[in-house]
Chain A
Amino acid sequence: MNKLHVDSVTKFFDENKILKDIYISCETGKVIGLLGRNGTGKSTLLKIIFGTVKGDSQFIKVDDKVLQHQMDRKGRIAYLPQYSFLPKGIKIKKLISLFCTQENSDKLFKLELIKPFLNETSGNLSGGEKKIVEVLLIIFSDSKFILLDEPFNALSPKIISEIQKIIKEQLKQKGIIISDHRFQEVLDISDEAYMLSDGYLKQIKDLKELQQNNYLPKSI
């Protein structure tokens, strides 16, 4: 079993301290849900864990390896951003073989969700189709921990349900941190859920706490 340990993450934007000494951990087999209002720093936290944004202070470790450089994250942490990130001219089947091990590539090639796009390039796909491909590539990648930033955005309810099933299947080998505004879908698959508010991370046990923290309207 692998463990991701994130500690002492602090981030300032100008004078504004958006992340205040954040601690979060994840281990193989667990899904951690990350919720929060717009602009509270969820994506920034995921980017700091992934290494593309540097925190003002941070300590990130996978098992015994302290992650300092991007190369340290290779094979340990994969990240799905909110935006489309695949190079446009490369066929999806070639990207699968780059992201995944042989075993996972074979699984992906057989998956009905991705089959229609195997011979397409990312540039020829619609926004939703791109999202399906990107989510699957990252979930099936050979990394121990997966960070998903708004994976359900632009996807239809049926596709979301299939992605949720796939996430659960992949948990045997991975730990996942997921952030999305489709809170019910996030809570359905999460073992623990946290809310980022005023720079602090608070554990959430039920919907009432989301209302109390001003994330959900009182009418829900």
Chain B
Amino acid sequence: MMKNLKILWIFYLKLLIPAVLFSILMDSQFGFSLSGFGLCFLVFLPSLHFLIYELRLKNEYTFYANFGFSRQFLWITTLSFGLIINISTKFL
């Protein structure tokens, strides 16, 4: 379990920091609100996933596959995480 979390952390480290920063920047353009941040995050996280892993670092999918994480699983996790953050910020 711990190893799985470490592998996912390696994968998402490249996405989370820029996704959070871009979401804050974009949201601040329209007057900062948590629900606005959630919406921006829902857009930026999958976009960065596509730009970084589908266009730039496609070969790295083999690294994650060696630990049982398929490309499809990683996409579902990204979309689910974006949705969870988006829905949670609506209720905060």
Q: Choose among A52, A78, A79, A90 the residue that contacts B10 (Cβ–Cβ < 8 A).
A: A90
Q: How many residues of B contact A (CB 8 A)?
A: 18
Q: Does B32 sit at the interface, judged by CB under 8 A?
A: no
A-B pair number, CB within 8 angstroms: 50
Q: Which of A6-14, A66-74, A164-172, A195-203 contacts B (4 or more CB under 8 A)?
A: A66-74
Which chain B residue lies CB-closest to A143? B66
Q: How large is the interface on A (under 10, 10 to 19, 20 to 34, 35 or more residues)?
A: 20 to 34
Q: Is A99 an interface residue (CB 8 A)?
A: yes
- The interface residues of chain A lying within 8 Å CB-to-CB of B68 are 70-74
B10, A50: Cβ atoms under 8 Å? Answer: no
Instruction: Decide yes or no whether B59 CB sits under 8 A from chain A.
Output: yes
Find B62's partner among A72, A85, A99, A141 (CB 8 Å cutoff).
Answer: A85
Indicate whether B22 reaches chain A with its CB closer than 8 angstroms: no
From 1 to 58 in chain B, residues with beta carbon under 8 angstroms from any chain A beta carbon are 3, 6-7, 10, 57
A71 to B61, CA, bound (A): 14
Cβ-defined contact, B65 with A87, below 8 A: no
Check A70 against B63 for contact (C-beta < 8 Å). Answer: no
Interface centre among B10, B59, B66 (most CB of A within 10 A): B66
**Contacts known (A70-B68, A74-B68); A87 close to B10, Cβ less than 8 A:** yes
Distance from B71 Cβ to chain A, minimum over Cβ atoms (Å): 8
Partner of B63, one of A71, A73, A87: A87
Residues of A58-85 whose CB lies within 8 A of B: 69-74, 78-79, 81, 83-85
A84 and B70 contacting across the interface, CB-CB below 8 Å:
no
Most central of A70, A73, A81, A86 by chain B CB within 10 Å: A70
A81 to B70, Cβ gap below 8 A? no
Which of these, B3, B57, B71, B73, contacts A98 with CB under 8 Å?
A: B3
Could you tell me if B66 and A99 are in contact, using CB atoms closer than 8 angstroms?
A: yes
B21 → A minimal CB distance (Å)? 18
Q: Type the 1/0 row for B59-83, where 1 means its CB is closer than 8 Å to any CB of A.
A: 1111101111111010000000000
Point out residues on B near A: beta carbons under 8 Å: 3, 6-7, 10, 57, 59-63, 65-71, 73
Other than A52-B61, A72-B68, give 11 A-B pairs with Cβ distance below 8 A. Answer: A70-B73, A71-B73, A74-B68, A78-B66, A81-B59, A83-B62, A86-B63, A87-B57, A98-B6, A98-B67, A138-B66
Residue ranges of A at the interface with B (Cβ–Cβ < 8 Å): 50-52, 69-74, 78-79, 81, 83-87, 90, 98-99, 138, 141
